[in-house]
């Protein structure tokens, strides 16, 4: 995947089509790569590249070259017969490979990196004949991705498909150098739907759109196929060398804190078998400040086989680029930095009011929690947070702290029998991140977690003229996601010293929530339905009594009835 910087955009506009003209029609293809020969299955323990002449004519390799991202090596005066396979290796290993087929040696084979590389075949006119930008993910085979097996092209005449047209060799010896590939399938092509992977703004009026497949040149570069209600019809569209992305320039400039919809119509894939018409959302990203992005949900103690996740909520009107974020693990006692992970290559924009989840394995989260918005799961390395107590922070690229939470397993609902796999959810986006009463166990009716969606325990923000009021007349602390907590709110015009207690109908105090404590202007106290000894109270009617006095000696009290209910499962 091409990573674009703003300064490269104008360059692509100037030479974008020239890059296409400098690509020769492919008579010869890179057909097999042995990037990681150790430990060998049974082949020579050396790297090699296989070329295949797919044409009916002989091809001279004189003046041709093979390169990777850091070096280039030139072929000698060699010819490829029609439909001939040849093995390309370093000259010092020529004799070892001759047992498998014809060898065309290079002075030194460009190094094939195990994790991935860009291998390009050039003709004598300095035109690209074929190029493979592979990665270790292409093996897609846990038994063969740890060395000793080559990557083979499935259909050598299929120039539209990239990763899906390559796979780990099924040959018992680890590869098929100089011969028809073990995975050869002349009918293979990728018929999956064409999709947009992401869109990112590269300048005031320039948007980069990345697709999952190679594109048809004609439909992908038509300005009539890109429009936006706020930006008009595209002025220029250039397809980039990977053939899977375009750079679109509009006449109007994008404005900050504005979400734009770009309409794509009749974009075809390279096979011209799939047509895409869709809308994408984008905007100008801005640097977030403190509290613009808040920690909203944490799974730090997953079930066996599960993974941690961190959910954040865009609490601002800014559009925030995920790639500009850093996640920390801190010592909960000393605040010493224990781990730091930067979010990289996600290309995701966090729109205002949206929820996003960072996790090392989105597939596990998707299977376990069935999230509402799977496209808002971001695969990323994150710290491994402790099960009992930990501290995490979100930073921007300037290393400014956006939010921090030092959590404890004690914040879970006391009567939960099993905390494994239960996320801690933030109750209010307005209340303090570090307030233990602002966190509660996710409801079991929401699979014990709500990644990418509104929290099961969220408390709406109330606007009321009463001094004291309750979030509900009936609440049921049974983790079904409906009124699991009772929120008691006291609104004052000045600071007060208050006492808030819960009484049963016999007049006995069963829970002292606040005892002669100083409260501010707008205060929230949570009752989880438990008694002072953290015991489960019987269902029935209770009375919440709140009393307070201010600095001038004025005092008042209010009492409100509430019903504690509970389902049995």
pLDDT of residue 25: 57
The pLDDT tens digits for 62-86 are 999 999 989 999 999 999 999 999 9
428 vs 438: CA distance, rounded Å: 6
The pLDDT tens digits for 412-448 are 988 777 899 999 999 889 889 999 989 989 887 688 9
pLDDT of 564 > 70? The answer is yes
Q: Which two tokens stand for residue 272?
A: 């011209």
pLDDT of 468 > 90? The answer is no
pLDDT of 476 > 70? The answer is yes
- Show the CA angle centred on residue 379, arms to residues 375 and 383, nearest 5°: 140
Q: What is the average per-residue pLDDT within 25-36? A: 91
Give, as one character, the DSSP assignment of residue 531. Answer: -
Mean pLDDT, the chain, as a whole number? 90
Exposed e or buried b per residue across 218-253, where buried means at least 16 C-beta atoms within 10 angstroms of its C-beta: ebbbeeebbbbeebeebebbbbbbebbbbbbbbeee
Residue with tokens 């390309």: 88
Give, as one character, the DSSP assignment of residue 215. Answer: B
- Alpha-helical (H) ranges within 318-438 are 362-369
The pLDDT tens digits for 500-556 are 999 988 778 899 999 888 776 667 899 999 999 999 999 999 999 988 877 677 778
Q: What is the average per-residue pLDDT within 139-146? A: 93
Contacts of 528 (CB under 8 A, 6+ apart): 413, 414, 440, 477, 484, 485, 486
The pLDDT tens digits for 305-360 are 999 999 999 999 999 999 999 999 999 999 999 999 999 988 999 999 999 999 99
Positive/negative CA dihedral, 515, 517, 521, 524: negative
Q: What is the average per-residue pLDDT within 459-467? A: 51
3-state secondary structure of 6: helix
Q: Which two tokens stand for residue 288?
A: 């977030």
Residue 460's pLDDT band (cuts 50, 70, 90):
low
What are residue 564's DSSP bridge partners? 475, 540
Short-list 134, 131, 153, 112, CA closest to 26? 131
179 vs 46: CA distance, rounded Å: 17
Reported residue count of the chain is 569
Short-list 42, 60, 41, CA closest to 51? 60
- Give all domains of the chain, ordered by start, each with its CATH number: 6-168 (2.60.40.1260), 196-282 (2.60.40.1220), 286-458 (2.60.40.1260), 462-569 (2.60.40.1220)
pLDDT of 22 > 50? The answer is no
187 vs 164: CA distance, rounded Å: 13
pLDDT of residue 568: 58
Q: Which two tokens stand for residue 395?
A: 């930073």
The pLDDT tens digits for 98-110 are 999 999 999 999 9
3-state secondary structure of 402: strand
390 vs 405: CA distance, rounded Å: 8
The pLDDT tens digits for 157-186 are 998 888 899 999 999 999 999 999 999 999
Q: Which two tokens stand for residue 337?
A: 């930095």
Helix, strand, coil tally for the chain in percent (to 5): 10, 40, 50
Phi, psi of 438 (to 5 degrees): -95, 10
pLDDT of residue 24: 52
Residue 196's pLDDT band (cuts 50, 70, 90):
very high
pLDDT of residue 520: 65
Beta strands per DSSP E along 492-566 = 496-503, 509-519, 522-527, 540-550, 555-564
pLDDT of residue 345: 86
pLDDT of residue 6: 42
């Amino acid at each position: 995947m091409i990573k674009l910087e703003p300064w490269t955009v104008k360059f692509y506009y100037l030479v974008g089509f020239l890059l296409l003209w400098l690509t020769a029609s492919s008579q010869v293809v890179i057909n097999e790569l042995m990037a990681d020969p150790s430990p060998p299955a049974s082949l020579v323990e050396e790297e090699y590249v296989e070329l295949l002449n797919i044409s009916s004519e002989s091809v001279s390799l004189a003046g041709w070259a093979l390169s990777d991202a850091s070096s280039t090596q030139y072929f000698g005066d060699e010819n490829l017969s029609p439909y001939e396979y040849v093995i390309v290796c370093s000259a010092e290993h020529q004799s070892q490979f001759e047992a498998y087929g014809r060898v065309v040696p290079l002075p030194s084979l460009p190094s094939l990196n195990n994790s991935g590389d860009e291998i390009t075949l050039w003709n004598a006119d300095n035109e690209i004949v074929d190029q493979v930008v592979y990665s270790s993910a292409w093996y897609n085979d846990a038994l063969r991705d740890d060395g000793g097996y080559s990557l083979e092209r499935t259909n050598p005449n299929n120039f539209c498909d990239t990763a899906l047209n390559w796979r780990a060799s099924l040959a018992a010896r680890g590869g098929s150098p100089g011969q028809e590939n073990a995975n050869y399938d002349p009918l293979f092509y990728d018929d999956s739907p064409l999709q947009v992977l992401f869109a990112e703004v590269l300048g005031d009026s320039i948007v980069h759109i990345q697709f999952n497949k190679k594109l048809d040149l004609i439909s992908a570069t038509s300005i009539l196929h890109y429009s936006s209600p706020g930006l008009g019809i595209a002025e220029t569209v250039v397809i980039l060398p990977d053939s899977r992305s375009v750079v679109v320039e509009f006449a109007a400039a994008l404005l900050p804190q504005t979400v734009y919809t770009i309409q794509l119509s009749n974009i075809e894939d390279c096979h011209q078998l799939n047509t895409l018409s869709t809308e994408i959302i984008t905007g100008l990203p801005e640097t977030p400040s403190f509290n613009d992005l808040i920690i909203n949900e944490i799974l730090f103690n997953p079930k066996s086989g599960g993974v941690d996740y961190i959910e954040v909520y865009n609490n601002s009107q800014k559009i925030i680029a995920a790639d500009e974020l850093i996640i920390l693990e801190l010592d909960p006692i000393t605040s010493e930095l224990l781990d730091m992970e930067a979010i990289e290559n996600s290309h995701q924009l966090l729109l205002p009011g949206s929820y996003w989840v960072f996790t090392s394995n989105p597939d596990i989260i998707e299977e376990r929690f069935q999230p509402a918005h799977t496209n808002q799961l971001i695969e990323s390395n994150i710290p491994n947070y402790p099960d009992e107590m930990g501290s995490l922070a979100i930073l921007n690229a300037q290393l400014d702290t956006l939010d921090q939470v030092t959590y404890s397993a004690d914040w879970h609902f006391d009567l939960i029998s099993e905390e494994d796999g239960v996320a801690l959810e933030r109750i209010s986006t307005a209340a303090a991140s570090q307030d233990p009463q602002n966190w509660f166990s996710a409801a079991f009716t929401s699979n014990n977690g709500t990644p990418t969606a509104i929290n099961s325990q969220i408390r709406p923000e109330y606007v009321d003229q009463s001094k004291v009021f309750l979030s509900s007349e009936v609440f049921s602390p049974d983790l079904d996601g409906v009124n699991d907590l009772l929120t008691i709110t006291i609104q004052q015009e000045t600071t007060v010293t208050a006492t808030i207690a819960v009484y049963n109908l016999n007049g006995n105090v069963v829970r002292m929530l606040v005892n002669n404590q100083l409260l501010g202007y707008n205060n929230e106290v949570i009752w989880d339905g438990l008694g002072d000894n953290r015991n489960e109270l019987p269902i029935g009617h209770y009375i919440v009594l709140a009393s307070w006095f201010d600095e001038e000696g004025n005092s008042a009290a209010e009492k409100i009835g509430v019903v504690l209910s509970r389902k049995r499962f």
